[in-house]
Structure 1
Amino acid sequence: MSFQINASYCEELHFEHTKSSELYALLLEAIQLLGWSRGASKIDQITAFPGFSLIPFGEVVNMQINYDKVVVTSSCIMPQIWSFGQNKRNIRKLGRALNHLIQNRTEEQLRQKYFIASSEFIADTQEKVQSDRFKELTSSTSKITGVFSIFNPKPGYYITPILINLNILYFILLGLAGAGFWNYNLHGFEYLGVNLLDLTLTQHEWWRLLTYQFMHGGILHLLGNMFSLLMIGAYLEPLLGKWRFLVFYLICGTIGGLFSIYIHPFLGSVGASAAIIGMYGVFLGLLSSDLIEKHTRNAILSTLIFFLTLQLLFGLQGPVDNSAHVGGLLTGFVLGLISISAIRKENTWNTVKRLSIIVLMAIFIIFFTLKEMPNKANEFRAVIQEFGLNDDRAQNYLRMLNESSDDAIVQEIKIQSLGFIKQNAEVLDRLDQMPIGKNGHYRVNLLRKYLLLQAKRASSEMFWIYYGRRTPNDKKQIEACDTELRRITYELSNTSWTFQ
């Protein structure tokens, strides 16, 4: 099965009895008429950019002049398998504009237009380096000629297929281990690599910042991430080089994981999206330079910003961990900025030296952050322990019922039990301010009901004893509270605080 990773459409436009110089002038006017931006030009070739479009995410139109015909190719700038007919429409628009101009331009006007344009050839050759860089940037996409070639490492496309293969392999192994394939049930499989603060930081299992990047929450999660990795990898790896691409990918994913456990300490994080969006951030950083021809750069930049905006907006929905996305994106952008000069003056020794420095700095930042990061899991455990101690003291009167005098029990309830219940209400207020997730806040609400019932039960017990155990309503109230407390205690036993 053969396909193109960059959707394109090619067509020959014939203009009999029209000189190549006149065709050149006509193409320049047509580009201006259509409102397209003109890129690099040669004596027989013009490149134009139709501008931003939602579907596809932008295109480049290459016009090759050959005597009295023009070979026009419209391609998606970023790797995109389908253009939904936009490439074909670009060529048809160009053809109509040319036919219109042929009927409304004299030979003398075209000759003058060509004379002015010919003076630009020399200036355009100064952008040859950027133009060549653009060709290098897209060269690996032409090597992906079939489905199986996606998984086959080759020069210019080496690390990307290896990463794709590792993600798929780990997904299959986890599925066979019992995690499932359509939607992972990660409970019980945390030990296989989930990034969770209580494991990564508290248990010092720092390797999880790497392994979580190869775990996914289901087949759709995997396919979405691998498609995004294919798109950016095929485009960016030949520009960065395989080792720089790999190092940046892992650093973006790792620092994205740090953001995740800091913002969501009680949620497990899995997926390659932090690393992948980090690589889009690297590309964004590189686009702030003149490594790529300016018109190509502007077209890619608008496409990239639109894609990243969609990703981050999507991250606001449901269970998506947007904190990891933001962490990866910011890290990638910084890495892209500091790589500009290295890519401009590429040399093996400098590459090794710079990469070594980046790796050492990244390791220092990661371990320093892990050491200084507040352990919200331990803070949470301390608060839960405080609640448990207060609750045990609040119920001490129950142990005194058959051993102490009535006056001592009443004093215990009035001074101790109700006081500790009030303290626990304040403890729950503190818990509600912690990032404990939807399930955690639900559990806090259950505990509030539990405290109200404890207060009601203690008060009823106090009045029941105070009035000589002769008030039937207090006795019924105690029994009703006991029944409801058993129900809430059972419900609490079936909800958890961590890994929601």
Structure 2
Amino acid sequence: MENNYAAVASEKEDYQLLKILGEHAAYEPEAILAVIAEIEKRNITAPNLEQVKQEALQAHELREQQQNPAPTSFSDKLKDIRALFVPQQHYFVTPILINTNLVIFVLLALAGVHVLSPEGEDLIQVGANFGPYTLTGEQWRLFTSMFLHIGIIHLLVNMYALASIGGALEPLVGRRQFIVAYVLCGLAGSLASLWWDQQRISAGASGAIFGMFGMFMTMVLLERRMTWAEKKGMVYNLLGVIALNLVFGLQGGIDNAAHTGGLVLGIAYGAVLMLRSGRHFAQAYNLGGSIVTVALLLVAFVGLYLQIPTENARYLTMLDRFGERETAAMQVMKEMEVDASLINGGKYLPGLEQGIALWDENIKELIALQELPELGEEQAKEVEILLHYTQLRKTSYTMMRDDIRKSQPWMHERQRRLLWDIGNSVQQLNNLREGNAPQPHDSATDLALPEALEETTGFQPESHPLFVLDGKVLEGIGSDGIEGHITPDEIESVTVLKGEQALAKYGERARNGAVEIISKQE
């Protein structure tokens, strides 16, 4: 690079050039560049030559930008906006990060994720940070959540902030330190979010971006060649941005824990970089020192992750998986309610076998969950009820399978008693979740008759089966009106007929099935 100081530098002795280089902060950037050019021309060995050269180039470019007027035409402004997305020499990592976030958002939108208010299940499915999954083997969510956003507004706000801080910070610290700091701050934000609330669905680049703001503010404060008069404008501006966003984050729906975690790590990492560089901005850092710094932070992250209590996360994960298996296992029962009979019962055997296997998986997982030492009292009680319920379901399915294999009726007295007990467990679980006092039912007679018949027969009230009491058809009587004819403690037995069996015995009026009730005889 040619400048007006080249002639002067060419007349200096070697020791004079080295002296000027050592006091480079006191000279104009053009003068330092001329001295460096002369040193390189003479092949003089000088300490920190490349680092000083980069700083002088940055200072020179900054001065050139200040001297050039801002674009005024629409085309100039458009070019300026496009530049935000194009990698350049000292603005390389930032546009790549912006473009990556934008592309991921577009791809998810094309896949059906809502662009304004995505569903939590969709975010979890594509990699959001969610305690029940992140803490039970899916640690990769700590990283992937940094590139997901909860709607287009969230995305645009974050990308604007990233472009602002990236344009200022990346030229000062270089590509390598910028991307390393960005990822580390993002991971710190994800970990902080887990510590604060394991049930929150967390996504976004905010933790990483807050970290970059904190890093820049710390480096400006610690930079030794700038006076406070030169620093205070930037420091106050950065403090204002950070404080405003933290206060705004106090409202519901914003993950301030992630913001704070990223911010704290950014402040610490910025301080480490300044200490390593002698308290001035630098792009070149010793590779070994960088590896050690990153390794220590990653070890600290692993330690923090392992200290997060996982009992609640495992409990929530278990409930989710339990529900999925229960839904699959109950499918065969829904099918059997439609047209199961002694004639076609065999076609339901595969479904029953699958159901038995699913109930068995739930039993094993519930037993393992009972062994967790720090499970809450209410959670432990819920697991106990679920385990009893699941064991009853497995027994019911096993008994039904064996009866079908033997071509025997499966809705007999033992099966009905199991269904009573299953209904009892469901009621206990509902009472527990709703905070009601437990009201266990020791037998069928403890339930209201409509509820008891629903639990025993599997018929819903709106299905309107035909009721038959001691051989007499009760025309126009539903489950809600049966109490006018018999009470629970007067029932000896209940037989359910469905499909062809009901039609063959009672005709078209039993198209919705029939319930035969036998009363106790004195």
Superposition TM-score tier, normalisation by shorter sequence? 0.5 to 0.7
Q: Cα gap change, 1:271/1:348 in structure 2, threshold over 3 Å: closer, same or farther?
A: closer
Q: Is the 8 A contact 1:138 1:234 kept in 2?
A: no
CA distance in 1, matches of 2:81, 2:281: 32
User: Secondary structure, in 3 states, of the residue corresponding to 2:167?
Assistant: helix
Q: Which residue of 1 aligns with 2:305?
A: 370
- Correspondence 1:178 to 2:162: no
Write the distance in 1 (CA, Å) between the matches of 2:264 and 2:214: 7
Is 2:385 the counterpart of 1:390?
A: yes
Of 180, 186, 200 in structure 2, the residue corresponding to residue 267 of structure 1 is 200
Cα deviations by residue, 1:449-489 (Å, 9 ceiling, x for unpaired): 5xx4x617x3897778xxxxxxxxx768978999xxx99xx
% identity of equivalent residues: 28
After TM superposition, give the deviation of residue 341 of structure 1 in Å.
Answer: 2.6
1:171 Cα deviation (Å)?
0.9
Structure 1, residues 245-264: CA drift from partner, whole Å, max 9, x if none?
A: 11101100011101112222
Given the superposition, is the C-alpha separation of residues 138 and 362 from structure 1 closer, same or farther in structure 2, using an over 3 Å criterion?
Answer: farther
Deviation at 1:172, TM superposition (A): 1.0
Maintained 8 Å contact 1:278/1:333: yes
Describe the superposition over 1:279-298 as per-residue Cα deviations: whole angstroms up to 9, x where unpaired. Answer: 11112222332443311311
2:161 is the counterpart of 1:225: no
Distance (whole Å) between structure 2 residues aligned to residue 340 and residue 137 of structure 1: 22
Structure 1 residues 396-426: Cα deviation after superposition (integer angstroms, max 9, x where no partner): 8xx9x9569x9xxxxx9xxxx89x959x97x
- Computing the radius of gyration from Cα coordinates, the structure with the larger value is 2
C-alpha separation in 2, matches of 1:368 and 1:326: 19
Distance 1:137 1:304, change over 3 A: farther
| Aligned residues of 2:58 and 2:171 also touching (Cα < 8 A) | no
Whether contact under 8 Å (1:214, 1:271) holds in the other structure is yes
Q: Which residue of 1 aligns with 2:183?
A: 250
- Correspondent of 1:159 among 93, 105, 118: 93
- What is the Cα deviation at residue 275 of structure 1? 0.2
Q: Structure 1 137/174 Cα, relative in aligned 2: closer, same or farther at 3 Å?
A: farther
Could you tell me whether the CA contact under 8 Å between 1:390 and 1:421 is conserved in 2? yes
Q: Deviations over 1:45-85 (max 9, x none)?
A: xxxxxxxxxxxxxxxxxxxxxxxxxxxxxxxxxxxxxxxxx
* Structure 2: distance between partners of 1:348 and 1:299: 23
- Asked if structure 2 preserves the Cα contact closer than 8 Å seen for 1:140 and 1:235, the reply is no
In structure 2, the CA distance between the partners of 1:136 and 1:421, relative to structure 1 (3 Å rule), is farther
d(CA) in 1 for partners of 2:220, 2:382: 53
Does 1:323 find its partner at 2:269? Answer: no
Give the direction of change, closer, same or farther, for the CA distance of 1:141–1:241 in structure 2 (3 Å limit).
Answer: farther
Local SS of the residue matching 2:121: coil
Query: TM-score, normalized by length of structure 1?
Result: 0.53
Q: Does the aligned pair in 2 maintain the 1:237–1:245 contact within 8 Å?
A: yes
**Alpha-carbon distance in 2 for matches of 1:463, 1:195:** 46
CA shift digits 1:16-65 (9 cap, x unpaired): xxxxxxxxxxxxxxxxxxxxxxxxxx9xxxxxxxxxxxxxxxxxxxxxxx
Aligned counterparts of 1:220 and 1:274: Cα–Cα separation in 2: 16
1:306 aligned residue? 240
**What is the aligned partner in structure 2 of residue 352 from structure 1?**
287
Matched, 1:200 2:195: no
| Matched letter for residue 368 of structure 1 | G
Counterpart pick for 2:143 among 205, 210, 222: 210
**Alpha carbons of structure 1 residues 268 and 136: separation in structure 2 relative to 1, 3 Å:** farther
Tell me the residue number matched to 1:341: 275
Matches within 5 A, 1:60-139: none
Cα contact 2:189–2:207 (8 A) shared by 1: yes
Q: Which amino acid aligns with 1:192?
A: V
* Kept in 1: contact 2:116–2:153 (CA 8 A): yes
Residue by residue over 1:107-151, the C-alpha shift from the partner in whole angstroms, topping out at 9 and shown as x without a partner, is: xxxxxxxxxxxxxxxxxxxxxxxx989957967987996111111
The one-character-per-residue Cα deviations of 1:91-121 (angstroms, maximum 9, x if unpaired) are xxxxxxxxxxxxxxxxxxxxxxxxxxxxxxx
CA distance in 1, matches of 2:127, 2:65: 32
Against the structure 1 CA distance between its residues 354 and 347, is the aligned structure 2 distance closer, same or farther, given a 3 Å change threshold? farther
Output the amino acid matched with 2:313. Answer: A
Q: Partners in 2 of 1:229 and 1:278 — Cα distance? A: 11
- Measured after TM superposition, the shift of residue 243 of structure 1 is 1.1
How far apart are the structure 1 equivalents of 2:140 and 2:63? 35
Question: Which of 219, 224, 234 is the aligned partner of 1:286?
Answer: 219
- What letter is aligned with 1:202? T
- SS for the counterpart of 1:240 is helix
Deviation at 1:357, TM superposition (A): 1.7
Task: Give the secondary-structure state (helix, strand or coil) at the position aligned to 1:276.
Answer: helix
How many residues get paired?
Answer: 319
Retained in 1: the 8 A contact 2:129–2:142? yes
Counterpart contact for 1:460–1:477, Cα < 8 Å: no
1:265 is paired with a residue whose SS is: coil
**After the TM superposition, which of the residue ranges 360-369 and 307-316 deviates more from structure 2?**
360-369
Look up the equivalent residue of 2:245 and give its one-letter code: Q
Rate the CA distance shift 1:265–1:148 in 2: closer, same or farther, 3 A.
Answer: same
Distance 1:236 1:335, change over 3 A: same
8 Å contact from structure 1 (residues 136, 238) kept in 2? no
In 2, are the aligned partners of 1:140 and 1:157 still within 8 Å (CA)?
no
Amino acid at match of 2:269: L
Relative distance call for 1:136 and 1:330 in structure 2 (3 A) is farther
Report the more deviating stretch, 307-316 or 295-304. 295-304
1:278–1:328: 8 Å Cα contact kept in structure 2?
yes
Paired with 2:285 and 2:386, the residues of 1 have a C-alpha distance of: 63
Unaligned runs of 5+ in 2: 1-26, 28-54, 69-76, 319-368, 370-374, 397-411, 462-522
Q: CA deviation at 1:278?
A: 0.7
SS of residue in 1 equivalent to 2:115: coil
Measure the CA separation in 2 of the matches of 1:313 and 1:346.
30
- The one-letter code matched in structure 1 to 2:296 is M
